[in-house]
Structure 1
């Protein structure tokens, strides 16, 4: 039976749709039968197996005919006010999206990424101020970092909900708030920052592997762990990455606990007496703040954390607070122990200082350094490829939607009856098999953009990890230089100035439903001012 003769179908078309005749090439549109619920046709066509045919009709009008594939269509119970394509589309991938959610996986990823290369050298920057002033400075820096990260999380969820995507990048946030031209500039700087952090991690891990295996080739020593991490990320599900990262986090927590225990056992009195030394001058305290912000920060992975932490911004906030509190405790403990052992001397190398006191701490030091760098590398590796793809898309201007869809017929109606587009491959190919899909314009653009960059994805991860391996292998001083570069841009521009500026712009456009950061515009101005002061001072 032709659907055009079905009473419910006719009434629905009259009240909701307007399908113009196509006079250029008469054809017949063959689709599965539309499932009906409560004697009402659903305004959604999940068409996956259907074709164009150019069977001429007498009146040259497109006809709708049922096909045997109708049994494959799911039936969704919808109320009258819920007849829209987004409702049904959100129900289809819900199960697969939930499988990628892991709150504690997000927490462990935060812990591993936050405790990274900067922690080992932090006491060298805090020795001038002393234990008490440096501890207060570390706590205030942590509050500043967490506030900025919560802003990034809030922006990430706002853009994800607005665009209907599962993940965004920092470049995408900047482009949405500040425009494509400034977004391209941010993309280059952000990619440089992430790349420098990857180089620092690869260089540090390679140095530790060389200490364990002195006979190993230098290039192989630097490539061993990045190769293993890249293989797991590319070819295994996220659960495998999560388990591996949690194991490294446990190793890191065990190692830092052992180091703190060793330090207390050999210098308990020195740690307590070191609190008598305190310098409250800004020249003594300020040098530790940029290093602390870099050590405790994990802005790079915040958009990815929003993807896996849960379905709401509050879940992401809880993951950020829990995951960020553990590195704070570790950093404060490590700082107090090393300053207690150092006394009034300057610990240019805190690791050498600890080993000179107790050589048996070598295993704990190496275990902590390796796990801290390895978890940081995993965090950067899972988030940086998305950033690279967004950067390439933004700079190269991959907007081929008009080229791939030269003919569109929009089906619209008033109220909640939005259907989307009927997409034709091209006019001169009407006699060939084609495809019809009913979806929103943003979904079509996202699909084509994903397909356009799909061929690049298999090359991004090898490139992202192989380039730091080559740089770290042939330029041995890259560890400190990469950290210096990352510290300047992370503290002063990307993660200091941009988040409050983007949040203010988004709130002024009324894109955010609510703010999870208390204080409103005053808090944004305070964060912006602190970032400017740090940038000028640095």
Structure 2
């Protein structure tokens, strides 16, 4: 879309931005999973984060999208159940006190990158479109209904941690805040919930990012004829084949590897650098979330879409003038009515997103020169 509206430079800009976003997101999830597992079983965070990421990489690469989807549904259901248990426990033990007016709202700007980072699940849009066979009604329903689940979860999570802030020392991480509460089982539930949240998010990011890399490798190799065979499959990779006489053929590893070689290459390009950074850079999670939320996601989903909409609207308006056609009739055929009616919205989004990027730059500069 960026290349169609902004030209080659726009497509290259989005490609670089998305690659940076994908790697910083993967680094954040790998680093955070290691810290959580370390708190649970006292395994070194670098080792646990490495194996946690490798586990989901193998699940997606070998199991395929169908198996990954089933695992993800089970993990999500378990995560929601644990969240409900945490909320009930907090309420029963008097942890829900609400806002008492002592909150420091001046700290909100520093949390904006993390808030934006919670929208990273939109990267899964191409995979969802393919998974639902391009059914627009089902795609819309999945995103509208599915968006309410993380929204509700985040609101409840914030309410619980804000309510507990009056009973604990000032800390930065809400997970640490809850784990300090000396209630039986609450620490394990919180850590488990956090690990499941990271795991389900990692699945979505790895699926979308690896598929993106597959497409880029296909474009780079100019081998469009094999693109459909090499992309991440929406069926089982180990589905048994049947010969003409009705007998099942044995699994052919060479043919399977030829079919999935590009997918494994793309996944390796995604996972290997991410694991290297997460295991060698201390406190990679905080830095990665700030970069991904404050710069990459804000630019990719906040700044560039309004710019593309502006270009589309300008082109449709110029076309109507040149052809001397009524603007309303012309817009009805190319969608400019929809763009025109939403003009205040996408201009506002672009200005706010640009302001967030500038604010993040100033904040980072202030850290360099306190």
TM-score range relative to shorter protein: 0.7 to 0.9
The answer for the alignment partner of 2:210 in structure 1 is: 385
Which of 265, 272, 276 is matched with 1:470 structurally? 276
Q: Find the aligned partners of 1:515 and 1:320 in 2 and give their Cα distance.
A: 24
Aligned-partner Cα distance in 1 for 2:86–2:104: 26
Q: In the alignment, which residue of structure 2 is the partner of 1:190?
A: 18
Indicate which of 317, 338, 346 corresponds to 1:524: 346
Structure 2 distance, partners of 1:241, 1:371, is 14
User: Which residue of the partner structure matches residue 447 of structure 1?
Assistant: 225
How many angstroms apart in 2 are the aligned matches of 1:528 and 1:464? 29
Please report how far the alpha carbon of residue 457 of structure 1 lies from its aligned counterpart in structure 2 after TM superposition.
2.9
The verdict on how the C-alpha distance between 1:501 and 1:249 changes in structure 2, with shifts beyond 3 A counting, is same
1:16-415 pair list within 5 angstroms: 173-214=1-42, 220-268=47-95, 271-272=97-98, 274-277=99-102, 283=106, 285-309=108-132, 311-343=134-166, 346-360=170-184, 361-392=186-217, 396=220, 398-399=221-222
1:326 shift after superposition: 1.2
Structure 2, unmatched stretches of 5+, are 232-258, 317-330, 361-370
The answer to whether the 8 Å contact 1:204/1:373 transfers is: yes
Question: C-alpha displacement at 1:271, in angstroms?
Answer: 1.4
Give the whole-Å Cα distance in 1 for the aligned partners of 2:311 and 2:44. 51
Displacement after TM superposition at 1:479 (Å): 1.3
CA contact (8 A) 1:291 1:487 kept: yes
What is the TM-score with the length of structure 2 in the denominator?
Answer: 0.74
Contact 2:31 2:46 survives alignment (8 Å)? no
Seen in structure 2, the aligned counterparts of structure 1 residues 186 and 194 have a Cα distance that, compared at 3 Å, is same
User: Is the Cα contact below 8 Å between 1:249 and 1:371 reproduced in 2?
Assistant: yes
Q: 1:512 to 1:373 in 2, by over 3 A?
A: farther
Cα displacement string for residues 465-485 of structure 1 (whole angstroms, at most 9, x for unaligned residues)? 233223222323211111111
Structure 1 residue runs without a partner (length 5+): 1-172, 401-445
Question: Secondary structure in 2 aligned to 1:496?
Answer: helix
Deviation digits for residues 228-251 of structure 1, max 9, x if unmatched?
A: 222221222422111100111112
Shift of residue 312, structure 1, vs aligned partner: 3.6
Contact 1:491 1:534 in 2 (8 A): no
- 1:195 CA drift (Å): 0.8
Contact 1:188–1:391 (Cα < 8 Å) also in 2:
no
Q: Taking structure 1 as the reference length, what is the TM-score of the superposition?
A: 0.52
1:494 paired residue number: 300
Equivalent-residue separation in structure 1 for 2:288 and 2:57 (angstroms) = 21
Q: Deviations over 1:423-444 (max 9, x none)?
A: xxxxxxxxxxxxxxxxxxxxxx
Shift of 1:278: 6.1
Distance 1:482 1:315 in 2: 33
CA contact (8 A) 1:223 1:466 kept: no
Matches of 1:522 and 1:314, distance apart in 2: 27
- Name the SS for the 2:171 alignment partner: coil
Q: Is the 8 A contact 1:251 1:367 kept in 2?
A: no
Against the structure 1 CA distance between its residues 451 and 356, is the aligned structure 2 distance closer, same or farther, given a 3 Å change threshold?
closer
- Report how far residue 516 of structure 1 moved: 8.1
Q: Which has the larger radius of gyration?
A: 1
- The alpha-carbon deviation at position 388 of structure 1 amounts to 1.9
8 Å contact from structure 1 (residues 196, 485) kept in 2 = yes
Residue 389 of structure 1: how far off its partner (Å)? 3.2
Given that 2:75 and 2:200 are in contact with CA atoms closer than 8 Å, whether structure 1 keeps it comes out as: yes
Aligned-residue RMSD, C-alpha? 3.1
Q: Figure out how many residues of one structure are paired with residues of the other and give that number.
A: 314
Are the aligned partners of 1:309 and 1:319 in contact in 2 as well (CA < 8 Å)? no
